[in-house]
Amino acid sequence: MNKRIKKTLKIAKEQFIAFGFNEEQMNKLLASGQRDLEQELSKLKKLLEERPANIEEINKLTHGLKGLFLNMGNHKVAEKLVDFRENSLADEDSMKALLVYLKLDKEDTI
Domain residue ranges in the chain: 3-109
Q: Which of the four pLDDT bands, split at 50, 70 and 90, describes residue 99?
A: confident
Share of the chain above pLDDT 90, in %: 52
Q: What is the residue-averaged pLDDT of the chain?
A: 87
pTM of the model: 0.83
Residues 6+ apart with CB under 8 A from 85: 59, 62, 63, 66
Phi first, then psi: give them for residue 106, nearest 5 degrees. -125, 150
Model confidence pLDDT, tens digit, residues 13-52: 999 999 999 999 999 999 999 999 999 999 999 988 888 8
Cα(74)–Cα(28) distance, integer angstroms: 18
